[in-house]
Amino acid sequence: MDQNQAIAELPDDPPPVDSIKEKLGALSSLSLVCCIYKAPKRLRRLNPDAYTPRVVSIGPLHHGNNEELEAMEDHKLRYLECLIPKTSLTLEGMVEVAKTWEADARFCYAEKIKLSSNEFVKMLIVDAGFLVELLLRSPNKVDDSTLDRIYGKQKMIVDVNHDIMLLENQLPYFVVEGMFGLLRGDHRGGLPIPQIIHRHFKKFWMSIPPFPTRTFGLETHHFVALLRSIHLPSVLSFPGGSINRGMMGSTLSAKEIQNAGVKLNPSDSSTSPLDITFAKGVLTIPQIKISDITEALYRNIILFEQCHLLDTYFSDYMMFLSRFVRSPSNAELFIEHGIIVNRRGNAKDISRLFDRVLKETTQTSYSAFYYQTVYDKLEVHCNTTWHKSKAILRRDYFHTHWSAISVGAAVALLILTFIQALCSILAL
């Protein structure tokens, strides 16, 4: 029998048209509210810990598929048990409310969620209840007598905080907000929810900037979006008409701009972290505080921009900084001038962090670069011979008070010698 004829006669092989129609009918609708994504393999292999929860699963993407996270399920239930009396509902009432969240919540995930309706609703209640109780307990003082397996254990709260800011380990913000809305007034924390979330992260991470005074543009899709918004620059617009990504081929470094007479100046803590300026030979960069959590935080904000947004403010910030601290000696200059406060290791660790945090991310050549104007001004300054000459004079002859006096004395001696010689000639 002919092989092709045998294949064609297979009874379970539907006609191509029917097969394609079946698959088209099974496609889910694309969602305008999709905002929670999994890290691609190319990023995960660079630093798995930066994208993978250590101890707690939040949301459906890691729900029930990692034995190492199962131990936390009992603690999540204990937190929910403590939260229920603070609400105006019974558990049955909370379930009915959570059912109204289900459809919209499913649309927030880029991945198709395979949990049944009952499992999904249960996950929403347990995880949202856990997060809200976690945030409510955050301001409380903890001591050795506290019966809390999360706040009472330093390593545990560090790991939990790491996990709840991972992009693929999120609940939609409206679910967390909805759970807060079930609380009685005397248990709501006394602040707007974004500030309660910020207060929690700020308590444990020195790298989190102050809460911004501006409220426009504050994105609250989930915790990662909020953390990104807290970092955004004061001016949310790209340089007009600028589509040049000149930093891609940049050879400027911290040492090179210093050799061209550029002064490095850290701005005060009230400034937005991304507000970098260059004026009158001074490069002003808000202080950058580096801790053990910094790389994971940066990677997840960048991942969110890559997957969800066209405005790459934070990615551009990382690109700008990475060009100037590409080596340990350059990173050391930023540390010496107080721009980088390092609690993570040495200058080599800092340069490595900034060197690899953008690897395997998508950098397009046609989109605007937020720091293009600052970079162009720096490049013009560094390519001006006069600025380099002034810097050499300052470095070699005026680097200390006494060297300046010595040079001044030498110049004065030369002038006096010239005057004496001139007087001798005139006396002849």
pLDDT tens column, 75-129: 999 999 999 999 999 999 999 999 999 999 999 999 999 999 999 999 999 999 9
**Contact assessment for residue 398 and residue 404, using Cβ atoms and an 8 Å cutoff:** yes
Encode pLDDT of 350-385 as tens digits. Answer: 999 999 999 988 766 556 889 999 999 999 988 876
Closest of 247, 236, 321 to residue 283, by C-alpha: 321
- Mean pLDDT, residues 286-310 taken together: 93
pLDDT at 2 over 70: no
Q: Tokens at residue 147, please?
A: 């019966």
| Residue 369 tokens, joined | 């670069």
Place of tokens 């104007």: 373
Q: What confidence score (pLDDT) does residue 140 get?
A: 86
Whether residue 286 contacts residue 266, with contact meaning beta carbons closer than 8 Å, is answered with yes
Bridge partners of 36, per DSSP, are 109
Alpha-carbon dihedral angle through residues 264, 267, 273, 275, given to the nearest 10 degrees: -80
The answer to whether 183 touches 132, Cβ cutoff 8 Å, is yes
In tens, the pLDDT along 12-62 reads: 677 787 777 767 666 666 667 899 999 999 999 999 999 999 999 999 999
Quote the tokens at residue 101.
Answer: 């969240």
Cα gap 143→396, rounded to integer Å: 56
Indicate the Cα dihedral angle 33, 37, 42, 45, nearest 10°: 160
**Is 127 in contact with 58 (CB distance < 8 Å)?**
yes
Between CA 261 and CA 388 the distance in angstroms is: 6
Contact (CB, 8 A) for 157 and 55: no
Q: What is the pTM of this model?
A: 0.85
Closest by CA position to 237, among listed 378, 379, 368, 374: 368
Q: Return the minimum-mean-pLDDT range out of 90-99, 224-233, 415-424.
A: 415-424
Q: What is the pLDDT of residue 248?
A: 55
Q: How confident is the model at residue 207 (pLDDT cuts 50, 70, 90)?
A: confident
Percent of the chain with pLDDT over 90: 57
